[in-house]
């Protein structure tokens, strides 16, 4: 009642401190090996150890009996055949692959994972695996002074999560996102530890409410679940990038999105009529501001009934979608999970008749209040329901829609707990389980249903899906935006570590609502946020009902011109960004990265929150506060060239950089290159020419970049219709050498060669392209089919 006043900390409120007692796993009594799985019977439970690769090991403890190894909702990898050297002769057992060694103490049972140089990755001390009679499971791990923790999915606060407790329980949080607001919409029970330049990862494969405590104890951390098994994977790295490859080997990678989805998105809760949507689109065309997507928020529907359009507000959606396409714009409508309880609404009728909604064990449907009023919720844990839901999207795809926005899929319900009753029983493809167990995967499974349905209907075209809720593996289906932020400078600041940690959690396609969702934005904030948005993987401006409109032209010409410059810059950089998306889809690496990913030895990068990298050679150092025109920029090892001026800065230094409102500091590593295209118009977005900007070095720098292109729209690339080039740049005192290391794929783009632009070439330095000295008109040709 008095939660919002100081009464909340009244001495009589009784801060409970009674320590919770867990039962330790106890000593080991027996071990055996069955089908490459090591099974240990301990005093108080059974443990299984299974190697997935030479660098990934899985450890499972089931307090209730045999460890169950086939109930994962998220892991898509199968274990490889791994050669393990076993030694059970000594008091400490040893299991060794070509990359890691597990040491197992028997009394009490304690496991450590080590690299082959003898460095501990994860290890247990006084405490190890334990549980309580109520079903909770926990494990404690040693924590060292120099440990830094990242990942954990979508979290507020700073990049390094040391000193934090993070909880996983998908939650709709409209109240402001403060640094301590936790949990939010996405739960990814995974983290990466960086210890003295080396990284390893832990993925806790448990869908119950889990928590990770990196705070309460000076020399150990723990992770804990309300139920289920203690089932986790250790990924040995040792480079941060390898940890991500390993983690996404387990939980899957993002399919390559269509190019249009990587462009600029404009949204508003809501553009309420067809006329308004047309007017917004026309403004972008007339003002020559690039745009690929307009989002349709809940007002397009008839009484918020999904799979309907409101006949009065949107009398002819098919024509609208068609006309927008003529302008080079796609419409992405919102689809929430709640189906309005209305006996005259066919979707509701079908759901009831075909038994597709979430129900209690006793058989009654669960109803909750969301936008449409009383609603039922499809049980996405059931394949039959997923297929039904997927097929329903023909309603949209028949109109030419190729993208969907899933919201409220935590699921959010307007009640005290903010979600579905945890006692609801899901069908779960034949293994019924409560909402308490499956809450965290509900949103991701909605995403699976939607993505797969769209893919089926789009006849070879790539779907785009945006989701608010998700779990480990959500990257296989959807891009993620970070929910209902506010038009606060603090939220612009917080969005950087948030998006970086999502990328470190295997989800590369993410971004915040640019300009801020709730509250009222202002010209300066919107400009600064748009500058950052031009380089975040997902780039969408969105705002809440009742707030000031925040399309790029709403604050007058001066600001419009700056935002236009940066949105156009996004399109200029698209060939580079698209290549990074291709890399993300192949290797699981994020597009937007913290600096430590490229410089893991450099401690200054370990909690750098206000700068980020695009790929491995570009640093973005935005202005993140009002009235600020100068900021400190840390440049790591190497020499760095200011994108705006060409000035060169020595790395391992901090500089005060000046950037007025029309400017955002961008630095490119000397000796490397970036790929750029010319902006033509909204109606014609095909790249006619591609330029490679080489930032010439002279000290033996060498650089490789995988340039990737394809039709941007279909899955033909999976049949070899792509162009992939390993581009190599070597800078020496006398010349800059440019070569194609290898080329593959048989896609022929509209451009016939790559124009090469040398920045910072020294007097007397030659340019040698594929072994031939260039005469000044530098071109890189590639083989054609």
- Residues in 427-466 at the binding interface with ligand GLC, rule: CB under 6 A: none
Peptide bond into 249 cis (omega under 30): no
Which H or E run includes 402?
none
Q: Could you give the C-alpha distances from 386 to 372, 390, 441, 453, 535, in angstroms and in order? A: 21, 6, 13, 8, 34
Binding mask 381-420 for ligand GLC (x = CB under 6 A): --------------------------x-------------
Query: Nearer Cβ to ligand GLC, position 373 or 745?
Result: 373
CB 470 within 8 A of CB 448: no
38 SS3 class: strand
Using CB under 6 A as the binding criterion, the count of chain residues that bind ligand GLC stands at 9
Q: Which residue is nearest to ligand GLC (CB)?
A: 269
Query: Nearer Cβ to ligand GLC, position 306 or 633?
Result: 306
DSSP string spanning 459-519? TTBPPEEEES-EETTGGGT-EEE--S-BS-HHHHHHHHHHHHHHHHTT--SEE-EET-SBS
Residue burial 542-573, b: 16+ Cβ < 10 Å; e: rest:
bbbeebeebbbbbbeeebbebbbbbbbbbbbb
279 SS3 class: helix
Q: Could you give the C-alpha distances from 372 to 79, 196, 338, in angstroms and in order? A: 45, 52, 8
Query: How far is residue 415's CA from residue 570's CA, in Å, rounded to a whole number?
Result: 41
Query: Nearer Cβ to ligand GLC, position 75 or 298?
Result: 298
Query: Nearer Cβ to ligand GLC, position 250 or 334?
Result: 334
Token digits of residue 355: 């038994």
DSSP string spanning 333-377? EEE-S-EE--TT-HHHHHHHHTT-B-B-TTSPBPEEEETTEEEE-
- Residues in 532-551 at the binding interface with ligand GLC, rule: CB under 6 A: 542
Query: Nearer Cβ to ligand GLC, position 97 or 375?
Result: 375
Q: How far is the CB of 367 from ligand GLC (least distance, A)?
A: 20
User: Is 684 considered catalytic here?
Assistant: no
- Residues in 672-731 at the binding interface with ligand GLC, rule: CB under 6 A: none
498 contributes a contact to ligand GLC by CB under 6 A: no
Query: Nearer Cβ to ligand GLC, position 273 or 607?
Result: 273
DSSP string spanning 535-551? TSSS-EE---TTSPP-S
From 298, 474, 562, 574, residue interacting with ligand GLC (rule: CB under 6 A): 298
595 SS3 class: helix
Catalytic residue among 274, 336, 484, 710: 484
Query: Nearer Cβ to ligand GLC, position 483 or 615?
Result: 483
By residue count, the chain amounts to 785
Peptide bond into 270 cis (omega under 30): yes
Query: Nearer Cβ to ligand GLC, position 481 or 573?
Result: 481
Catalytic residue among 231, 310, 410, 710: 410
In degrees, rounded to 5, the angle at the alpha carbon of residue 451 between the alpha carbons of residues 447 and 457 is 150
Query: Nearer Cβ to ligand GLC, position 265 or 468?
Result: 468
Name, in order, each residue with C-beta under 8 angstroms of 381's C-beta and a sequence gap of 6 or more.
426, 427, 428, 429, 433, 438, 441, 442, 445
Q: How far is the CB of 543 from ligand GLC (least distance, A)?
A: 8
Query: Nearer Cβ to ligand GLC, position 40 or 269?
Result: 269
- Residues in 32-71 at the binding interface with ligand GLC, rule: CB under 6 A: none
338 contributes a contact to ligand GLC by CB under 6 A: no
User: Is 410 considered catalytic here?
Assistant: yes
Query: How far is residue 33's CA from residue 50's CA, in Å, rounded to a whole number?
Result: 10
Query: Nearer Cβ to ligand GLC, position 116 or 175?
Result: 175
Query: Nearer Cβ to ligand GLC, position 103 or 299?
Result: 299
297 contributes a contact to ligand GLC by CB under 6 A: yes
Q: How far is the CB of 269 from ligand GLC (least distance, A)?
A: 3
Residue burial 613-626, b: 16+ Cβ < 10 Å; e: rest:
bbbbbbbbbbbbee
User: Is 777 considered catalytic here?
Assistant: no
CB 507 within 8 A of CB 469: no
Binding mask 465-494 for ligand GLC (x = CB under 6 A): ---x--------------xx----------
Task: Give all strands of the β-sheet with 230-235 in edge-to-edge order.
Answer: 28-34, 37-42, 45-51, 56-62, 230-235, 198-204, 190-195, 147-151
From 269, 284, 300, 307, residue interacting with ligand GLC (rule: CB under 6 A): 269
300 contributes a contact to ligand GLC by CB under 6 A: no
CB 141 within 8 A of CB 123: yes
CB 591 within 8 A of CB 598: no
Catalytic residue among 164, 205, 402, 407: 407
> Which among 266, 268, 269 has a CA at the least distance from the CA of 289?
266
250 SS3 class: helix
Q: How far is the CB of 621 from ligand GLC (least distance, A)?
A: 29
Q: How far is the CB of 702 from ligand GLC (least distance, A)?
A: 45
Binding mask 346-375 for ligand GLC (x = CB under 6 A): ------------------------------
CB 150 within 8 A of CB 504: yes
334 contributes a contact to ligand GLC by CB under 6 A: yes
CB 463 within 8 A of CB 455: yes
Token digits of residue 29: 């009594």
Q: How far is the CB of 472 from ligand GLC (least distance, A)?
A: 21
Q: How far is the CB of 182 from ligand GLC (least distance, A)?
A: 17
Query: How far is residue 350's CA from residue 356's CA, in Å, rounded to a whole number?
Result: 8
309 SS3 class: coil
Binding site for ligand GLC (CB under 6 A): 269, 297-298, 334, 407, 468, 483-484, 542
* Active centre residues (catalytic): 407, 410, 484
């Amino acid at each position: 009642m008095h939660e919002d006043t100081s009464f909340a900390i009244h001495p009589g409120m009784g801060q409970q401190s009674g320590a919770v007692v867990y039962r330790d796993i106890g000593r080991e009594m027996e071990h055996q090996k069955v089908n490459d799985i090591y099974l240990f019977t301990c005093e108080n439970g059974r443990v299984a150890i299974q190697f997935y690769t030479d660098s990934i090991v899985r450890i499972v403890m089931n307090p209730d009996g045999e460890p169950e190894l086939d109930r994962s909702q998220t892991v898509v990898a199968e274990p490889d055949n791994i050669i393990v050297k076993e030694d059970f002769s000594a008091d400490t057992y040893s299991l060794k692959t070509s990359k890691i060694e597990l040491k197992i103490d028997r009394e009490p049972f304690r496991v450590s994972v080590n690299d082959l140089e003898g460095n501990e990755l994860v290890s247990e001390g006084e405490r190890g695996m334990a549980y309580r009679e109520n079903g909770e499971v926990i494990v404690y791990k040693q924590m060292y002074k120099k440990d830094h923790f990242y990942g954990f999915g979508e979290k507020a606060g700073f990049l390094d999560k040391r000193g934090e407790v993070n909880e996983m329980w998908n939650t709709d949080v409209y109240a402001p996102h403060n640094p301590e607001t936790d949990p939010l919409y996405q739960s990814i029970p995974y983290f990466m530890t960086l210890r003295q330049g080396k990284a390893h990862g832990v993925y806790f494969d448990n869908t119950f409410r889990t928590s990770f405590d990196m705070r309460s104890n000076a020399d150990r951390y723990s992770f804990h679940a309300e139920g289920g098994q203690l089932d986790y994977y250790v990924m040995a790295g040792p480079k941060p990038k390898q940890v991500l490859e390993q983690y996404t080997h387990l939980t899957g990678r993002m399919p390559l999105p269509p190019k249009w989805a990587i462009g600029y998105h404009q949204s508003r809760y809501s553009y309420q009529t067809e006329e308004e949507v047309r007017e917004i689109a026309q403004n972008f065309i007339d003002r020559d501001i690039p745009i690929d997507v307009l989002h349709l928020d809940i007002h397009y529907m008839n009484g918020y009934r999904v799979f309907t359009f409101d006949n009065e507000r949107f009398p002819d959606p098919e024509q609208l979608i068609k006309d927008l396409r003529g302008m080079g714009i796609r419409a992405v409508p919102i689809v929430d999970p709640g189906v309005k309880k209305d006996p005259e609404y066919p979707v509701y009728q079908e759901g009831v008749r075909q038994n597709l909604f979430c129900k209690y064990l006793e058989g009654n449907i669960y109803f909750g209040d969301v936008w449409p009023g009383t609603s039922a919720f499809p049980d996405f844990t059931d394949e039959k329901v997923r297929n039904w839901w997927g097929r329903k999207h023909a309603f949209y795809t028949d109109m030419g829609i190729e993208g969907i926005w899933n919201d409220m899929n935590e699921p959010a319900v307007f009640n005290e707990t903010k979600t579905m009753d945890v006692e609801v029983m899901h069908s779960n493809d034949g293994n019924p389980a409560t909402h308490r167990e499956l809450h965290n995967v509900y949103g991701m499974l909605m995403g699976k249903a939607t993505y797969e349905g769209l893919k089926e209907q789009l006849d070879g075209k790539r779907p785009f899906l945006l989701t608010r809720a998700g779990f480990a593996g959500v990257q296989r289906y959807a891009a993620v935006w970070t929910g209902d932020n506010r038009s606060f400078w603090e939220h612009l600041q917080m969005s950087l570590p948030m998006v970086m940690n999502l990328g470190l959690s295997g989800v590369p396609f993410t971004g915040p609502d640019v300009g801020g969702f709730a509250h009222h934005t202002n010209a300066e904030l919107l400009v600064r946020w748009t500058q950052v948005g031009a380089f975040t993987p997902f780039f969408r401006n969105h705002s809440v009902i009742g707030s000031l409109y925040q399309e790029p032209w709403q604050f007058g010409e001066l600001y419009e011109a700056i935002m236009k410059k940066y949105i156009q810059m996004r399109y200029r950089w698209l060939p580079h960004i698209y290549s990074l998306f291709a890399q993300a889809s192949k290797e699981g690496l994020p597009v937007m990265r913290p600096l430590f990913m490229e410089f893991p030895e450099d401690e200054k990068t370990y909690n750098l929150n206000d700068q980020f990298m695009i790929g491995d050679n570009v640093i973005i150092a935005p202005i993140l506060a009002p009235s600020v025109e100068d900021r400190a920029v840390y440049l790591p090892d190497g020499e760095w060239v200011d994108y705006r001026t060409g000035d060169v800065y020595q790395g391992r230094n901090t500089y005060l950089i000046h950037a007025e409102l029309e400017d955002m500091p961008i630095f490119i590593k000397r000796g490397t290159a970036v790929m750029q295209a010319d902006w033509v118009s909204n109606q014609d977005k095909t790249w006619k020419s591609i330029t490679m900007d080489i930032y010439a070095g002279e000290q033996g720098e060498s650089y490789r970049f995988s340039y990737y292109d394809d039709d941007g729209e279909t899955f033909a690339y999976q049949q070899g219709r792509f162009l992939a080039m390993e581009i190599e740049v070597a800078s020496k005192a006398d010349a800059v050498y440019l070569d194609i290391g290898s080329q593959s794929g048989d896609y022929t783009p509209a451009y016939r060669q790559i124009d090469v632009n040398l920045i910072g070439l020294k007097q007397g330095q030659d340019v040698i392209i594929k072994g031939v000295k260039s005469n000044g008109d530098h071109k890189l040709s590639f083989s054609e089919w």
